[in-house]
Amino acid sequence: MAQNPAVMAVVVAYHPDFAVLDELLQSLSRQVIHTYLIDNSAHDDFRVQEWFGSTTRKDVSLIRLGSNRGVATALNAGIRIARAAGATHVLLSDQDSLPPPDMVSGLLTAARSLGDEARVAAVGPVFINRRTGMTHPFQHPVPGWMAYKHALPTPESPVVETLTLITSGSLVSIAALNDIGEMRDDLFIDYVDTEWCHRARHRGWRIYGTCLAKMTHDMGDAALRVWLFGWRNEMDYSPERVYYRVRNFVALYRMPHIEFRFKIRHARFFLGDIYSQVFFGTQRRKALRMTLKGLRDGINGHLGPYPSR
């Protein structure tokens, strides 16, 4: 497949599965002109560097941050380098995503089909959770509707507007980043993408999802069986991730540019997250403690890496 000459990729790595990471980089090498692999490992953890040194990839550059500075800071580091190298778009990716060989071209086709007047900040693929097999719909804004509706694009309507996108697999316009700004470093991880998408919409840009591109992705640390009027599969998170998810969601509620419809509808999923982790998680007591800490710090506006104070 021909490369897309203006697209560069940014991949964030933290304790990766090297077999999966290798497969990801191979796929990207056929779709973008260059990939920046951002190593978020501790300063004395050289596993990513040693693995990378054993490869012969000329289309990938490794950037070590020297510590785990969070996904937002890692993404921003890669975005800055890609911008300086002349990229018009950046493809953002987690280390455990597996893009098919036509994903970037599908995303570009979707963006171009909307035209310049649409002010497309980012377009993302349909996601399939590798752990649960679930296809995740987009949060589709409906005029006059208090909240939002879930929608999946179809062959007849392959592009849908959405409130937010998951970071991994998102094709982001450099022009939009120049106007909107970078990711918020103080969120560290979780809801980084959500905040940026709402900020983009607040500034008059639009976010889209498309079925012209699909990607499998690990969401959460493991699959979790939860009972809520019947058994269902949810995502299990480590206690530290529970802290970030709770804290950052509360922080989002305090931000005026976060759309009210999102706050109303997503509150149910937020409460469901707490219910799942505290009553069915693998580390329930720790999850409860971290939930309370997250609520406290979110209310008080104490952000940054944990512990926030």
In a domain, 213, yes or no: yes
Structure tokens at 180: 């909107």
| Residue 269, domain extent | 222-300
In a domain, 306, yes or no: no
Q: Which pLDDT score is estimated for 96?
A: 87
pTM of the predicted model, to two decimals?
0.93
Are 15 and 137 within one domain?
Answer: yes
Are 154 and 38 within one domain?
Answer: yes
In a domain, 308, yes or no: no
Are 125 and 258 within one domain?
Answer: no
Question: Considering only CA atoms, which of 182, 224, 221 is closest in space to residue 200?
Answer: 182
Mean pLDDT, consecutive 10-residue segments, the chain of 309 residues?
A: 71 95 95 97 94 91 95 98 97 92 96 91 90 82 84 94 95 97 96 97 97 80 78 86 96 95 89 93 95 96 84
Distance of CA 89 to the CA centre of its chain: 16
Are 193 and 264 within one domain?
Answer: no
Residues with Cβ within 8 Å of 261's Cβ and at least 6 positions away in sequence, in order, are 141, 145, 146, 147, 148, 163
Environment class of 280 (CB within 10 Å of its CB; exposed 0-12, middle 13-18, buried 19+): middle
Q: Which pLDDT score is estimated for 1?
A: 38
In a domain, 309, yes or no: no
Which of 178, 197, 217 is the endpoint of a domain? 217
Number of structural domains in the chain: 2
Are 15 and 53 within one domain?
Answer: yes
Q: Which pLDDT score is estimated for 129?
A: 75
Are 66 and 211 within one domain?
Answer: yes
